[in-house]
């Protein structure tokens, strides 16, 4: 018998189906599923997974865009005790091969468009993998729907509890091949309870919300946004993939009340022709995270979305929100703008030095987090898990400091820090200074190996298309704005910066390109 109060997705699905069966759970394109329909369909999926020979803890991979079938599978895995392994469809064949090898997935659901990638890599896998084609949404072909046809829609009880795994998300791999971040059912419950108990509405999920799932659900942020909303019983409007014009249309058409997106996604939405005050009039809150937000864009979002804005700091490993900058702090001139906010209820944040000693306010070190939503482990990587989680504290890959009021300031990724003649330089500070130039659209800064200084600073800059900007122009602009040793002495001008699907700049790619150019005697300003 399933405990209706249990903090599992299995129990919550049954509760919603019983208490609000006709409430729309999910909208994708022009198709809707109520909570009762989603419950029954995911029950069939759970039964089909067990009938296919999978056992509790078996890994189930998915490669494709998002649709109602994807979230049906999310819940079907929860109800069968198996663990979903989403694979980003933008990954290369090599990266897909790594995820399938590493996860030990026994079955993979794949949309027809991406099946050739799976067929190319499956022959090299050490064990047989069943491949099921996922139907194109809106059709009833011989794929996923046929695979589970005839299975009962009765409830399942896999015997799993809040601490059992349900999802295995692979990190973006910006510094190497990704690791599998194993997340439990409780991940999607504890933050909601803690923030409600504290009477805090910085970031909230309401059963009356209609939320746009703009951040890809194949990413930990998008998955968390959907599942937190599922827990409270709201309506999710799912995009097959993020297209800014379509996002603006959906907000207007479905009277969306909230969304979560990366800063780059918000900027693209605001640049659309249809981005009018009327289009955004239904919004009550926009939450952003996943990358730094330039101050000018932040204030533009406040003005043009016309609703509350909240920032969150999180990672795949934290499972949910760690710190938040509240809506009332998103006003011009507020002293906390530019910070990542304060620790949310139930969470703790501290800064440590290289020896693991806690640092006082104002001193930069490694950000450490203690949160009940955190991940269980890196799959099959006990060494990496032990290195990341020490005495219950999750060691983040970020460098930062706490101000005297306990607000977290992120300086940069620890691995992105540049050291010039023993001086530490955090790229975000330099990038923000470059972006203040009126003719600069975007910028990224990386370190390039140098025999004399150890590293030198290179800026990769996107200028406005109708102007000419040189490295010397920018060097003159930066003098007096940042310390001289932080000013880049190499510049590359490009049409756009390489980014991953969540908007993060691919610094590894920029470093490799800059290093090759330097070795070939690349130009300086």
**pLDDT bracket for residue 524 (50, 70, 90):** low
| DSSP characters over 157-180 | -----TTSEEEEEEP--TTSS--E
Q: Which residues of 210-242 are buried (b: 16+ CB within 10 A; e: fewer)?
A: bbbbbbbbbbbbbbbbbbbbbbbbbbbbbbbeb
How many Cβ atoms from other residues are within 10 Å of residue 42's Cβ?
28
CA separation for the pair 169, 380 (Å, rounded): 13
pLDDT tens-digit readout, 446-486: 998 877 777 889 999 999 998 999 999 999 999 988 878 88
Q: Which residues of 113-128 are buried (b: 16+ CB within 10 A; e: fewer)?
A: ebbebbeebbeeeeee
Q: Which of 41, 27, 31 is closest to 74 using CA atoms? A: 41
Strand partners, 213: 238
Please state, as a whole number, how many other Cβ atoms lie within 10 Å of the Cβ of residue 300.
14
Query: How far is the C-alpha of 47 from the C-alpha of 50, rounded, in Å?
Result: 5
Average the pLDDT over 334-345 and give the result. Answer: 93
3-state secondary structure of 338: coil
Q: At 517, is the pLDDT very low, low, confident or very high (cuts 50, 70, 90)?
A: confident
Q: Are 110 and 73 in contact (CB under 8 A)?
A: no
- pLDDT tens digits, 365-382: 999 999 999 999 999 999
pLDDT in tens, 197-232: 999 888 999 999 999 998 888 888 899 999 999 999
475 close to 525: Cβ distance less than 8 angstroms: yes
Per-residue model confidence as pLDDT tens digits over 37-52: 999 999 999 999 999 9
Q: Would you state the pLDDT for residue 402?
A: 98
Q: Strands 490-493, 454-463: parallel, antiparallel or unpaired by DSSP?
A: parallel
Q: Which segments of 279-381 does DSSP mark as H helices, in order?
A: 295-305
Percent of the chain with pLDDT over 70: 95
525 vs 95: which has the higher pLDDT: 95
* pLDDT reading at 140 higher than 70: no
Written as six digits, the tokens of 205 are 């999920």
pLDDT at 418: 86
Residue-wise pLDDT for 218-272, tens only, equals 888 899 999 999 999 999 999 999 999 999 999 999 999 999 998 888 988 999 9
Strands 365-370 and 348-352, bridge-based pairing: antiparallel
The gap between the terminal CA atoms of the chain, to the nearest Å, is: 71
Q: Using CA atoms, how far apart are residues 256 and 287, in angstroms rounded to an integer?
A: 13
CATH fold of 417-519 reads GMP Synthetase; Chain A, domain 3 (3.30.300)
Q: φ, ψ for residue 457 (rounded to 5)?
A: -95, 130
* Element containing residue 69 per DSSP (H, E): helix 68-80
What is the average pLDDT across 77-95?
Answer: 91
CA dihedral 177, 178, 179, 184 (to 10 degrees): -170
How do the domains of the chain map onto residue ranges? 34-160, 348-413, 417-519
Instruction: Report phi then psi at 446, rounded to 5.
Output: -135, 165
Cα–Cα separations (whole angstroms), residue 231 to 5, 15, 23, 408 = 12, 10, 13, 28
- Summarised one tens digit per residue, pLDDT across range 375-429 is 999 999 999 999 999 999 999 989 999 999 999 999 877 778 787 866 778 788 8
Give kind and range of the element (H or E) at residue 260: strand 258-261
Mean pLDDT (whole number) for 176-201: 92
Predicted pLDDT of residue 174: 46
User: What is the average per-residue pLDDT within 21-37?
Assistant: 96
Which two three-digit tokens encode residue 91? 């990954």
**pLDDT exceeds cutoff 80 at 92:** no
- Give the containing element (helix H, strand E) for 145: helix 144-148
Check residue 296 and give its pLDDT.
Answer: 83
d(CA 410, CA 412): 6
DSSP code, position 406: S
Category of 151 on φ-ψ map: left (φ > 0), alpha (ψ -120 to 50) or beta = beta
Answer for the pair 460, 437: CB distance below 8 angstroms, yes or no. no
Q: Does domain 34-160 have CATH number 3.40.50.980?
A: yes
Determine the pLDDT at residue 141: 59
Q: Is the dihedral of CA 391, 392, 397, 401 positive or negative?
A: negative
Q: Is 359 exposed, middle or buried (0-12, 13-18, 19+ CB in 10 A)?
A: middle
Q: What is the mean pLDDT of residues 513-519?
A: 78
As given in the structure block, the two tokens for residue 501 are 């699907």
Half-sphere exposure for 518 (CA within 13 Å, toward CB) = 20
State both tokens at 505: 């700049």
Q: Which CATH class is domain 348-413?
A: mainly beta
């Amino acid at each position: 018998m399933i405990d209706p109060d249990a903090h599992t997705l299995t129990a919550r699905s049954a509760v919603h189906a019983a208490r609000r069966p006709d409430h729309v759970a999910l909208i994708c394109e022009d198709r809707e599923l109520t909570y009762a329909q989603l419950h029954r369909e995911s029950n069939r999926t759970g039964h089909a997974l067990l009938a296919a020979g999978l056992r509790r803890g078996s890994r189930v991979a998915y490669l494709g865009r998002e649709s109602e079938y994807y979230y049906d599978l999310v819940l079907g895995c929860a109800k069968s005790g198996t663990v979903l392994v989403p694979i980003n469809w933008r990954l290369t064949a090599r990266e897909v091969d790594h995820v399938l090898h590493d996860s030990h997935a026994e079955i993979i659901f794949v949309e027809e468009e991406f099946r050739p990638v799976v067929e190319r890599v499956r022959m090299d896998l050490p064990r047989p993998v069943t491949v099921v084609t996922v139907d194109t949404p809106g059709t009833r072909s011989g794929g996923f729907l046929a695979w589970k046809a005839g299975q009962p829609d009765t409830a399942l009880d896999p015997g799993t509890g809040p601490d059992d795994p349900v999802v295995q998300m692979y990190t973006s791999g910006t510094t190497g091949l990704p690791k599998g971040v194993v997340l439990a059912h409780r991940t999607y419950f504890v933050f909601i309870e803690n923030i409600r108990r504290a009477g805090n509405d910085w970031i909230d999920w309401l059963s009356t919300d209609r939320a746009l799932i703009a951040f890809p659900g194949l990413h930990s942020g998008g998955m968390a946004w959907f599942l937190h909303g599922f827990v409270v019983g709201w309506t999710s409007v799912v995009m097959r993939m993020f297209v800014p014009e379509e996002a603006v249309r959906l907000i207007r058409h479905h009277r969306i009340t909230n969304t979560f997106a990366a800063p780059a996604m918000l900027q693209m939405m605001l640049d659309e022709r249809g981005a009018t005050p009327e289009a955004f009039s239904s919004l009550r809150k926009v939450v952003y995270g996943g990358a730094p937000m330039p101050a000018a864009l932040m204030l533009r979002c406040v003005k043009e979305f016309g609703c509350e804005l909240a920032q969150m700091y999180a990672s795949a490993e934290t499972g949910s929100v760690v710190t938040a900058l509240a809506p009332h702090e998103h006003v011009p001139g507020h002293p906390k703008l530019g910070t990542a906010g304060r620790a949310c209820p139930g969470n703790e944040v501290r800064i440590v030095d290289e020896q693991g000693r806690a640092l006082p306010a104002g001193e930069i070190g490694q950000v450490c987090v203690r949160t009940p939503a955190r991940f269980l482990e890196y799959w099959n990587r006990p060494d990496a898990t032990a290195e990341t989680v020490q005495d219950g504290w999750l060691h983040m890959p970020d460098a930062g400091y706490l101000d005297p009021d306990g607000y977290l300031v992120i300086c940069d990724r620890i691995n992105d820090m540049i050291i010039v003649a023993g001086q530490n330089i955090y790229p975000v500070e330099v990038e923000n200074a470059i972006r203040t130039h009126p003719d600069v659209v975007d910028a990224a800064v990386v370190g390039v190996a140098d025999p004399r200084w150890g590293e030198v600073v290179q800026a990769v800059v996107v200028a406005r298309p109708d102007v000419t900007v040189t490295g010397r122009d920018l060097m003159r602009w930066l003098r007096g704005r940042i310390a001289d040793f932080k000013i880049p002495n190499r510049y590359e001008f490009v049409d756009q910066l390489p980014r991953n699907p969540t908007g993060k700049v691919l610094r590894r790619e920029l470093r490799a390109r800059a290093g090759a150019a330097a070795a070939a005697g690349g130009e300086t300003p």
